[in-house]
Amino acid sequence: MIERSTRRQFIDRTCRLAGFVTLGGAAGLLARRASASAVYQVDPLKCTSCDLCRTSCVLSLSAVKAVNDFAKCGYCMLCPAYMDVTSMPDEKGVPAGRVCPQDALKRRVVGTVDPDDPNNNYYEYVIDEARCDGCGKCVKACLPPAGNGSLRLEIRYDRCVECNECAIQTACPDQAIVRVDVPGLSPKGHDVTHG
Amino acid sequence: MGEIRAARVVPLLRRFGPLLVVVAMFLSSVLVAQYQKAPPDFGGSYSFPTPTHPEPRGTWVRALDVAMLAAGLGIGAWLVLKRRSRNGVLLLSVASVAYFGFYRKGCTCPIGAIQNVTATLVDPSYTISFGVIAFFFLPLAATLLFGRVFCGGVCPLGAVQDLVLVKPVKVPVGLDRVLQWLPYVYLGFAVLFAGWGLHVLVGGWPIDVGRRFIICEWDPFVALFRVSGAFHMLAIGGGFILAGMFVGRPYCRWLCPYGGILALLSRVAWKNVRITPDKEVDCGLCADACPFGAIKDLRADRGHCLACARCYDSCPYEIERRGGPSAEVQIARLVRP
């Protein structure tokens, strides 16, 4: 009885030791290729605003939002990302249709206001993050030559839950969801978050 | 005459047509571009807004997740093996559902980390983070030391099922034994899909599925933690919660691939839940109390014990140890009709 119990203990101990050695070895092997703070981000040079960011995020309201880079924005009256330029004009001659299906792109007139000629005014375009669902319609519409290309899609880290695997990355047809080591920089070094 | 004119125009169009298209495009872009203005000077009152960029969670917040996991494992081991306290495990379960479940929304999780580890080993270009490595290996090491304390009250998926378990029914031993193989089947598929995807021909029909993380895609509880997700996932989650009210932890016992790995490691653990560490009366109350059928011949099944400490709560000697009536009195009460 005593002998059997010690043999059992010996096998247990050997297996446990082998387990620890295997775990330690595997962890060491993986750690050599690990990165401390890799996060997901959209590479604007690869992104084609295909609408999959809106539909494939694990969150009902996607963690991807449109962001306006005000330094690039033209503050145009006739903003192709704000209004559907192919729609019928209203009584003031401004196209009545809107690009954003969520009504998340808001504008307000800034500077000295000319009440008679809307064309003579400047407008500031701000994204309402509570409404934006990351469909990218405005981003597509703002692309040059129609717009200045000041809008782009960005993963917002206040919403991103950092899944083991990004569901958008899996779905993205352009491999535009990249892992970045330094937040704000894409792997190739161009600035992702600041224009 | 008309025919001749047409014959002249067509080759001209063919030659200069593309050029015309380009010119037209250029003109139209010029027409639109007239509304583009460089960011103007609006005077002193206007300042350009700076786009906000929420920072990713800082390194110390990521480290906090790992620290919470390590602390949870340590506290769990202490509560189960040292204190033998069911109430303590219950509190730990609530805390882990709150933190890992609702606050961290189920990510990062050791179960899903199986796939990250597989992907890293198969694909050299795949990036894994230190946090995921820690989440994968810490519970494995803890299991080699103390048994499945991770399952007991640290894993939010296990904890949420444990908290809803109100009236456990006994599952036939034979059925239980067959279903216990499912985690390994699931593990095999998860590794296959995470590393390679599936590319086969079935009777001439090509099945072509790229690499994907099926454990995460089909995780029944994360949609509940996020209160957001596809309808079918919320429905599956609700189904598991409903089933979990009457069957002890269906996901942990018969599906969880990480639980499958832990069951193997737990067999050779340094310390395990023991029935009963001090004295015993062979009353079998512990086996009745175990909702997971993990007490066989009045001994804890080292592989399948989920370290919930319910057995200790039912044991007359444990109740006596905590200042209750003596074990003899309790048993006499039970025996008396």
Residue B128 lies in a domain: yes
Sort out which chain B residues have CB atoms less than 8 A from A69's CB and list them: 51
Q: Is B304 domain-assigned?
A: yes
> Closest Cα partner for B52 from A60, A128, A104?
A128
Of B39, B40, B216, the CB nearest to A71: B39
Query: Is residue A180 helix, strand or coil?
Result: strand
Complex confidence, ipTM: 0.72
pLDDT at A183: 53
Chain segment A67-116, per-residue pLDDT in tens: 998 888 888 888 999 999 888 888 877 888 999 999 999 988 887 777 77
The domain limits of chain A are 1-34, 35-180
Answer yes or no: is B185 within a domain: yes
Task: Determine whether the interchain pair A165/B112 forms a contact, defined as Cβ–Cβ distance below 8 Å.
Answer: yes
From chain A, the residues in CB contact with B38 under 8 A are 74
Asked if the Cβ–Cβ distance from A126 to B56 is below 8 Å, we say no
Residues B143/A56, Cβ–Cβ less than 8 Å: no
Identify the CATH number of the domain defined by range A35-180. 3.30.70
Of A75, A126, A183, the CB nearest to B37: A75
**Closest residue of chain A to B222, computed from CA coordinates:** A58
Q: Which of A164, A172, A175 to mutate to test the interface with B (most CBs of B within 10 A)?
A: A164
- pLDDT at position B154 is 95
Residue A105, H or E segment: strand A105-110
Contact A76 B59 (CB under 8 A): no
Q: Is residue B279 part of a domain?
A: yes
Kindly tell me the burial class for residue A57, based on how many C-beta atoms sit within 10 Å of its own C-beta (0-12, 13-18, 19 or more). Answer: buried
Residue B226 domain-assigned (yes or no): yes
**Average pLDDT by stretches of 10, chain B with 337 residues:** 55 62 56 52 70 76 90 95 92 95 88 91 82 93 95 94 92 93 96 89 82 88 87 93 94 96 94 80 87 89 92 88 84 77
Mind listing the pLDDT tens digit of every residue in chain A (195 residues)?
A: 455 668 888 898 999 999 999 999 999 988 888 876 678 889 888 899 999 999 888 888 899 999 998 888 888 888 999 999 888 888 877 888 999 999 999 988 887 777 777 777 888 999 998 999 999 999 999 988 888 888 999 999 888 887 777 889 888 998 898 887 655 444 444 444 443
- Give me the domain span that covers residue B227: 59-332
Q: Which of B168, B163, B162 is CA-nearest to residue B247? A: B168
Which residues of chain A are within 8 Å of residue B217 when distances are taken between CB atoms?
A: 167
Distance between CA atoms of residues A126 and A82, nearest Å: 10
> Does the beta-carbon distance from B37 to A74 stay under 8 Å?
yes
pLDDT score, position B115: 92
Distance CA B175, CA B179 (A): 6
B90 within domain boundaries: yes
pLDDT score of A195 = 36
Task: Report if residue B51 sits inside a domain.
Answer: no
The percent of residues above 70 in pLDDT, for chain A, comes to 89
SS3 content of chain A, % helix, strand, coil (to 5): 25, 20, 55
* pLDDT given for residue A100 in this prediction: 94
Chain B residue with minimal CA distance to A38? B129
Contact A58 B222 (CB under 8 A): yes
Give the distance from residue A23's alpha carbon to the nearest chain B alpha carbon, in angstroms: 7
Q: A67 and B51: CB-CB below 8 Å?
A: yes
Three-state DSSP class for A42? strand
User: How many Å apart are CA A14 and CA B45, to the nearest integer?
Assistant: 76
Query: Measured between alpha carbons, how far is B292 from B176 in angstroms, rounded to an integer?
Result: 9
Please list the residues that pair with B201 across neighbouring strands: B206
Total domains present in chain B: 1
- Among B287, B283, B274, B260, which Cα is nearest to B331's? B283
In this prediction the pTM is 0.77
**What is the distance between the alpha carbons of residues B162 and B92, in angstroms, rounded to a whole number?**
11
